Each structure stands twice: as C-alpha cells, then as structure tokens.
Amino acid sequence: MAESSPRAGKIAATPWRRRLDRWLPKVSLVPSGLASLIFVYGFIAWTIWLSLTNSTLLPTNNFAGLRQYKVLFQLDIWWVSVANLAIFGILYVAICLAIGLFLAIMLDQKIRAEGWLRTIYLYPLALSLVVTGVVWKWLLNPSLGLQHFVQSLGWTGFSFDWLINPHMAIYTVVIAAVWQASGFVTALFLAGLRGIDSSIIKAAQIDGASLPRVYLSIIIPSLRPVFFSAIILLVSLAIKSFDLVIALTNGGPGYSTWLPAIFMYDFGFNRGQIGLGAAAATLMMAAVALAMLPMLIAELKERRDGRSH
C-alpha cells in the first residue's frame, strides 16, 4: 500500500511554530484572566479603598479610615434601605419558596399539559425587571388598575392603594418580584423532584403511607439541596435589587422603598458622595458573601468528607 500513495508523514515545524503551539493555550486565557484581575478584583479593591477615603464628587486618595461607614450608619435613609431590604428579602424568599414548592409538587402529578404550564410559569424571567416594574405599576395604579377594577364590580369600599402608601409600598415590590421569580423557583423544585427515585415513593406507599404523608416526611426533606441553592440565589437577587424598584416606585413615595442598591446609586452618582456609595457597595458585597457562607462551608465539608473516605 505504501507505493500507492505518498506518505503524508510528519510535518516539519519551525521552532517559532513549536513555541506558538506551546504558548497559544496559555495566551488565550490571558485576556479573560487579566480582565478578571482588573475589572473584578482590582475594582473590588478600588471600591473598598474608595470607601476608606473622603471622596465626594471626585474620587480622592485621602485616607479617612472608617469615617464613611460612620456617616453611613448615622443616615436614616441607609437604615430605611436596610430595613426595606430585610422586609423585602424575607418575604420575597419565603413567598417564592412557598409558591415554587407548591406549584412544583402540583406539576409533578403526571400533569398532561406540563410543558405548556412550565413555559407559562417561567416566561416572566425572560422579561426585563424594568418591564415588570412598569406593568405592575399599571396594575397597582389605584385610580385605573386593580383597585378600580374591583370597585367597578360593585365592591366600592375596596382599597388597594399600596403603591402610593409609604407604609405599604415596599410590599408592592414584593408582589412584582415574586411574580417574576416564583416560576423559576418552581422549575428548580421540579427538577429536584424529578431527581428523586420514584421507587422510594412506591415503597413508602406499600408500607401504607398516604401521598401527603410521603411528601411531608420523605420528598420535601430530600429537596434540601434545592432549598439551599434557591435561597442563596434569591437572597443574592434581593440584595442586588435595583431596576424593579426604580421602575415600580422610583424609591418612593419619599424614601419609603429605598434599598441599599438604590442608596449606592443615588449617593455614588447623583449626590456626589462617592465615598458613601463605595461604603454601601462594600456592605452589599459583604452581605452577599455572608449569604454564600453556608454554601461554601457545606461545600468544603463535603470535600473534606469526600477525601477522608
């Protein structure tokens, strides 16, 4: 056979080409690595540094210790933002989990149109939070929205004016945010349910357990990892919440729906208080890190256990 074709053989390579071959893989990671070092880690350091200076309209390098944090902690608006975040965060996470788990269990009962329903439940996540804010602003509009609609049905005493009520406005943010994310949590739980071995359920039923009982004592406990990742996800989404509030209430009425993200933006970019904005951002990052901590610990533990076995 050798005579019928010329040997394709080996390819001679110049030293230059050889060097290129060796370096190309490394070189191709450089842009991303460098970008990450500068734009992520460099910027984190920079922001933390800014929070320790007395920067106002322009960034300065005058070290001011923790003064910005002190000022921050004396500002009522900051504490309003934090309190709002607490209310919003807790309700948002809790309601999303409740709706998500409930709908996932319902969907897991061999439902005929499951695909369709899932598509419908999930589409809000494809929308911009600004769009969500705009829609709910319209629905919650007291003079023409849902309140008006119910009143026009004859229930004239019906009142649902949270959007313009400083004490209740933060709850409208919860309503809109839950609408956006609960379908996603449903999908997460559904994926978790699908991962459970159905023979466990059958075995439990043969032992005489009723279906609700099986869910309560076997299935839901085994969804722990899903709860875990859903909570972490929702908490970090809550901490970063910005667009929705801007579009829905623009922080109002007054400051009644401010969140730390709005505080950071407003002080950092509108009020020329760069140091305060940086301090707020740093605290937000710390909060996310804190929320991640349980997951990191669990992961480390798992790794250690995995190694010791």
Partner 1 sequence: MAGPTEDGIQRGGPIARLLIYGVLVLAALYFLMPLYVMLITSFKTLPQISHGNLFSLPAPFSTGAWSSAWSNACTGSDCTGLHRYFWNSVAFTVPAVAFSTLFGAINGYVLTKWRFRGSELVFGLLLGGTFVPFQMFLLPMARVLGLIGLDNSLAGLTLVHTVYGIAFTTLFCRNYYVTIPDELVKAARIDGAGFIATFRHVILPISTPILMVCVIWQFTQIWNDFLFGVVFTSGSEHPITVALNNLVNTSSTGVKRYNVDMAGAIITALPTLVVYIVAGRYFMRGLTAGAVKG
Partner 2 sequence: MAVLKIDNVSKTFGETRVLEDINIAMAEGEFLILVGPSGCGKSTLLNMIAGLETISSGTITLDDTPVNDRSPRERDIAMVFQFYALYPNMNVRKNIEFGLKMRGVDKGERAKTVERVAKMLQIENLLDRKPAQLSGGQRQRVAIGRALARDPALFLFDEPLSNLDAKLRVEMRTEIKQLHQRLKTAMVYVTHDQIEAMTLGDRIAVMNEGRVQQLGTPHEIYDNPANRYVAGFIGSPAMNFIECEFANGSVRLSSPEASLDLALPEATADKLAKHGQSKVVMGVRPEHLAPADGDEANALACPIEIVEPTGPDTYLLTHINDIEVTARCTPSVAPDVGTTMPLTFDTERAVFFDCQSDERIA
Which residue of 4, 28, 270, 308 would you call a contact of partner 2, by CB under 8 A? 4
Q: Does 80 bind partner 1 (CB under 8 A)?
A: no
Q: Which does 12 bind (CB under 5 to 8 A by kind): partner 2, partner 1, none?
A: partner 2
Question: Count of CB atoms within 10 A of residue 4's CB?
Answer: 5
Q: Does 278 bind partner 1 (CB under 8 A)?
A: yes
Q: Does 219 bind partner 1 (CB under 8 A)?
A: no
Q: Which does 146 bind (CB under 5 to 8 A by kind): partner 1, partner 2, none?
A: partner 1
| Burial zone of 50 (CB within 10 Å; 0-12 exposed, 13-18 middle, 19+ buried) | buried
Which residue of 11, 24, 29, 58 would you call a contact of partner 2, by CB under 8 A? 11
Give the CA dihedral 71, 72, 74, 76, nearest 10 degrees: 140
Q: Which two tokens stand for residue 21?
A: 């071959």
For partner 1, give the closer residue by CB, 220 or 285.
285
Residues 6 or more apart from 307 whose CB is under 8 A from it? none
For partner 2, give the closer residue by CB, 3 or 305.
3
Q: Which does 57 bind (CB under 5 to 8 A by kind): partner 1, partner 2, none?
A: none
Q: Does 82 bind partner 1 (CB under 8 A)?
A: no
Q: Does 2 bind partner 2 (CB under 8 A)?
A: yes
Q: Does 155 bind partner 1 (CB under 8 A)?
A: no
Q: Does 5 bind partner 2 (CB under 8 A)?
A: yes
Residues contributing to the site for partner 2 (CB under 8 A): 1-2, 4-13, 18, 21
